[in-house]
A and B are shown apart, each in its own frame.
Chain A
Amino acid sequence: MGLTDTVIADARSPRVQPGENAARRKRIRRLKETAVSLGMAGPAVALYSLLMVVPVLVAIYLSLTDWDGFSAADFIGIRNYLHLFTDTNTTHSMWVTLIVVVFGSAFEIGLGLAYALALRQKSRTNSVFRALAYYPHVISALILGFLWNAILGTNGAFNSLLASFGIKPVGFLFEQNLALISLIAVIVWAGFGFNVVLFVAALQTVPLELIEAAEIDGASRWQINRHIVIPMISPVVTVALILNLIGLLRVYDIVVSLTGGGPGGATQTYAFVILMQSFGGTKIGYANAQAVFLMIVSAALALLVTALRNRSDRAAGGEG
């Protein structure tokens, strides 16, 4: 830089300085704001990463190893994932879980909705019935399993009653098909109350004017529910469906205490196999592969339901 240039630059600087200072102050303010935001969000992000992201990454890593919990973990690629589909216990448990998920969520949603519709009016009696429906949800699922085992087991209350009349025991827990039905029934009984609470809350948001208008137009109760009420609470139904699907994919504790996975593995759900057999059998690498697969399926199901719901909304919007 020559002398002339320096002089020119020096001469210019007093003219641009006010604008630069303002911009600099603005930049500093933005930086401070960003730093404050990061400082405030940082701990939460760090905690989330530490408690959620890191364990998932560790699980994914372990799923690619043959770690048994004791020895050094050897990397084995996707062999654990391939084994998922050749391991008869796991494949069988996938079918059992599918049945539980399909029928469990259908009944939990269906019964929850029917119950909520029946009890949507505010009254003391309805409040009691709503509380009764929700009551099993506050008890540990493990305890509920033991409770129903004491009722439905061979020596349980129901069969003991039958025995006192000389009637043979009903195989609620020892007939393979009936045991699976019993399991689903207990799961539905324990879980549908949560949906009732969700749906009752959602029903309060449906404008009464719409229902009254439909009634004036001569719509029946069924038509009102079918064409007005249910479509209006469908976002809540979608949320409930996703929660139910994910919850039922992971069902484990009721199985442990109600049937122990028996008889003959008829009620061994996927999560039961992961926890009782794979982790219990110190196949930690394989158990992690099973868990990661479950996580992927859960996420895929949630996304699928949401996508279907959005598409249905768009279609409804288009029609409108």
Chain B
Amino acid sequence: MKGTGIWRRVGAAAVLAGAASMVLAGCAAKTPASTSGSGSAHLRVIMNVTPNLTVAFWNDLFSKYEKAHPGVTISLERTGTIQASDKLNQDLAAGDPPDIVQQVTPTAQTVKLFTDLSDQSWTKDTPLVDNYKINGKTYLVGAGQQVQSLVFYNKEAFQKAGLDASAITSVADLTDAMGKLKAAGYVPLQTAGQWVTGAQFTLFNDSTTMTQTPNWIKQRTEGKVKFSEGQYLDSLKTYQSWVEDGYLQKSDLGLAYADGQTNFLNGKSAMYMMGSFFVPAADQAKKSDQFGVFSMPTTGKYPTKQFSNIADSYVVVKQSKNQKAAIDFVKWLTTDKTAVTAELAADGNFRAGYSYKMSSLGDGVQKIVNASPGGFVEAADEQPLTGFSTELTSQIQSLISGTSAKQVAQNLDKWWDSQTQ
């Protein structure tokens, strides 16, 4: 019968499919599982690959650990075009958690994903560890410290404009210097589109605002301060005046981060607000000696506390089946002299007690760190709302495009309040 034939074939197909899935399941079950001891384990590590921290760099670092710890193998999980945090989300959603993730900052909401490292005594000697504690517990440890609030300058431009970088300590001095640089034929301050626009304003504003009011972000969350009043508004007004005076180029908004940096490296602009990660970029371009650096001027005390963040930071994923091995590896990454020095040197980061061969520009940053009365971070309670950096970038781009400082501040308040409703 025709129908019976079809059913026979359907039944056979179902049996085949079932058998195939059982075989596949069997194969999957036979895949060697990672062992849980530190003696023998395979660790999967999500790392951000950047122009400084290349795949080759990570693999070289891993091989040093593998040689010293027979039985432990480490594989680099590349993130492709996405951030490490997004890759982590994907892996967790797929039920395939990695063991360690680099450059993911836990928040009160995400902390449950990570292993509590508070009982690990070695963590207390790692940089900025206390600043990143959540509810008094340690989840994130790092190898170094990235210094953010820096102004790099072109020595030749300063010479032509008759400027002494060491004399620029206040915002008024900085504005005055921009005028002289413009008169000398330079674009005074380099900016760019993408995230750079918002980040540079943060570096500029926070050096004053966060020094004057160390818990400003917490206060904003509680509604005690606003963007549209006080120091924050003053910073926006200063920025607006720079735009109006032509010290910041509106056309720079059409530049990618790398293009803006290239403009500065090629001497098209005189100053560049950026973090210490500019140093290895200048080193690679073999132009470090052409540039100098000074700490961000403020409207108050100088030098200010350095706006910093933990660098080469790691979390152990709670779902990892290799907890002991993962913690041991993170300990090595953040305390072993060779590993730490390699990480610091690769990304131009700093840490008290650790040194590596630096360029003159790196030495300049080290001197700023040494002279600084301390650091502040934007993490834990002082972490802005999720999405704030994107919103700030958008608003600062609007400011550069002609929106008034007051309107931008009001927009930021409106956005912040809309996110906390």
A interface, CB within 8 angstroms of B: 32-33, 35-36, 39, 68-71, 83, 86-89, 149, 152-156, 159, 168-169, 171-176, 260-266, 268, 276-277, 280-283
Contact = CB atoms under 8 A, between A and B. Distances in A.
B252 interface: yes
Interface string B389-402: 01101110111110
A306 to B, nearest CB: 36
Contacts of B390: 276-277, 281
B7 A39 contact: yes
Contacts of A168: 251
B370 interface: no
A83 B419 CA distance: 9
Nearest to B192: A154
5 contacts: A71-B109, A155-B254, A171-B251, A263-B401, A281-B387
A281 B243 CA distance: 30
Contacts of A87: 418-419
A152 B7 CA distance: 62
A283 B250 CA distance: 32
B391 A264 contact: no
A39 B193 contact: no
Given A36-B6, A169-B254, A262-B193, A70 B112 contact: yes
A215 B240 CA distance: 65
Contacts, number: 116
Interface in B365-421: 386-387, 390-391, 393-395, 397-401, 403, 411, 414-415, 418-419, 421
Interface string B68-103: 000000000000000000100100010000000000
| Chain B contact residues: helix, strand, loop or mixed | helix
A168 B7 CA distance: 75
Nearest to B109: A68
Given A156-B254, A171-B254, A174-B252, 17 more contacts: A35-B3, A36-B7, A69-B93, A89-B391, A153-B254, A154-B252, A155-B255, A171-B251, A173-B253, A262-B194, A264-B398, A264-B399, A266-B401, A277-B387, A281-B390, A282-B89, A282-B386
Given A69-B89, A153-B255, A154-B254, A32 B394 contact: no
B251 A88 contact: no
B398 A265 contact: yes
B276 to A, nearest CB: 25
A141 to B, nearest CB: 14
B61 interface: no
A175 B10 contact: no
Given A88-B418, A154-B259, A171-B250, A261 B109 contact: no
